[in-house]
Amino acid sequence: MVLNGMAYLFIGIGSSGTAILNSVLEYKEIRRDKPIVIRLRSDKEWNKSRISREKGADFAFVISELDDGDEVSRAAAMLSECGIKTLFVGVLPAMRRQKSENLINAFYTLEKLKEYINSFIIVDNQRIAHLPNFERYYPRYNRYIASCIVDILAGVRDKTAAMNIDRLLSIISFSDEPGYAALSRASELTKGLAGYILPFLRHKPLDLRTLIRVSMEKLSIAEAPLSSERGITFLRVPEYYVRGERVDKELVEEFMLMYTKECYLAVCTTKRNIAAITNLFVYRFEQLKRLRELRGLAHEAI
Ligand SMILES: Nc1nc2c(ncn2[C@@H]2O[C@H](COP(=O)(O)OP(=O)(O)OP(=O)(O)O)[C@@H](O)[C@H]2O)c(=O)[nH]1
Ligand SMILES: [Mg+2]
């Protein structure tokens, strides 16, 4: 179970949670961690004993639907009973072509989970709802979210990145209310095609400004304000840049402070010729129109 010194559970709930989890598991670096994988599908196979046996886990990564809160509430209660820290990703239904019952349930699920969880990473399907037949884009959206999760885990795993699970969880939650976080990511090749064929060609200089700007266009919450309470940036680059001190951390911080009041940076390496920036922007409930809208629907229905 412990391979890179990090033992964790991966729990996917509902067809969205399971699909995103499967996309994450396509990455070899994740499979190498040998996480314990539990999929709770709509057939409601409940695997209580399995969670309770995993007391040695450093943390659990739960990716779940929110439309139907029973399963996820039980999982969260069980994890909290076992004292396992939980990093939670919840899929918010789009407004379009969804029964209002599902939207209202999503609000109540978030409320119910507050008892056990104090930070939510939100994957908002409304973000892709403008596309024709947007359901067809789920696989691509899932892969995008998976790439964010993989890079966050890389930052948590890397001992030199100054980020670990406790620090991450505390940054994304507030003392007086849960934090609601959006994901965003942008990447670029650090070598052109010629660099692949001729491996001795050097990596290009990093264009961190462009990476940050592009990533800001891809927040996982619809209509999220461009200014958040806190932000964590995970920067993943080939070792060449880290070794030669070619990463301008101050520039990243300066740029991030345009979008967030407090910012944290974790730099780690990748074996691929890719530079990627993954951000977690943390908001309070009232700052997010999408959450206020769901609450409005829930209150109207009473
Ligand atoms: N992002 C994303 N959303 C999905 C995916 N599959 C379903 N959804 C949507 O996510 C929300 C959460 O629902 P889920 O319970 O995961 O999916 P579901 O279609 O209700 O399926 P079951 O409950 O498992 O029968 C719903 O609004 C679904 O339309 C997916 O692969 N990716
Ligand atoms: Mg469902």
125 CA: nearest ligand 1 atom:
1
Among candidate residues 281, 254, 277, the one with its CA nearest the CA of residue 267 = 277
101, 44, 110, 54 alpha-carbon torsion, rounded to 10°: 180
50-55 LR contacts (CB < 8 Å, sep 24+): 51/9, 51/11, 51/75, 51/78, 51/79, 51/82, 51/84, 52/78, 52/81, 52/82, 54/9, 54/82, 54/84, 55/82, 55/83, 55/84
Residue 118 Cα, ligand 1 centroid: separation in angstroms?
A: 23
Residue 64 Cα, ligand 2 centroid: separation in angstroms?
A: 9
145 CA: nearest ligand 1 atom:
1
Cβ of 67 less than 6 Å from ligand 1: yes
What length does the chain have?
302
**Is 214 in contact with 186 (CB distance < 8 Å)?**
yes
pLDDT at 103: 95
- The residues of the chain that CATH labels 3.40.50.1440 are 8-171
Q: Which of 67, 68, 70 to mutate to test the pocket of ligand 1 (most atoms within 8 A of CB)?
A: 67
Cβ of 40 less than 6 Å from ligand 1: no
| E strand intervals along 128-259 | 179-189, 228-238
Cβ of 4 less than 6 Å from ligand 1: no
Residue 213 Cα, ligand 2 centroid: separation in angstroms?
A: 34
Coil, helix or strand for 205? coil
| E strand intervals along the chain | 8-13, 36-40, 59-65, 85-92, 119-124, 179-189, 228-238, 260-270, 274-283
Q: Please state which CATH number belongs to domain 8-171.
A: 3.40.50.1440
- The residues of the chain that CATH labels 3.30.1330.20 are 182-287
Which ligand places an atom closest to the C-alpha of 18?
1
What is d(CA 163, CA 168) in angstroms, rounded to the nearest whole number? Answer: 7
128 CA: nearest ligand 1 atom:
1
Q: Which residues pair with 289 in a beta bridge?
A: none
Residue 15 Cα, ligand 2 centroid: separation in angstroms?
A: 7
67 CA: nearest ligand 1 atom:
12
Residue 98 Cα, ligand 1 centroid: separation in angstroms?
A: 10
- Fold assignment, 182-287: 60s Ribosomal Protein L30; Chain: A; (3.30.1330)
Q: Of all protein residues, whose CA lies closest to atom 28 belonging to ligand 1?
A: 93
Cβ of 27 less than 6 Å from ligand 1: no
**How confident is the prediction along the chain (302 residues), in pLDDT tens digits per residue?**
444 568 899 999 999 999 999 999 999 999 999 999 988 875 555 666 667 677 778 899 999 999 999 889 999 998 998 899 999 999 999 998 778 899 999 999 999 999 999 999 999 999 999 999 999 999 999 999 999 999 999 999 998 888 999 999 999 999 999 999 999 999 998 887 666 666 667 788 889 999 999 999 999 999 999 899 999 999 999 998 888 788 899 999 999 999 999 999 999 999 999 999 999 999 999 999 999 999 999 999 88
**Is 40 in contact with 48 (CB distance < 8 Å)?**
no
Cβ of 15 less than 6 Å from ligand 1: yes
Cβ of 138 less than 6 Å from ligand 1: yes
CB proximity list for 166: less than 8 A, separation 6 or greater:
85
Cβ of 8 less than 6 Å from ligand 1: no
**Is 239 in contact with 160 (CB distance < 8 Å)?**
no
Among candidate residues 146, 12, 176, the one with its CA nearest the CA of residue 88 = 12
pLDDT at 244: 77
What is d(CA 255, CA 237) in angstroms, rounded to the nearest whole number? Answer: 18
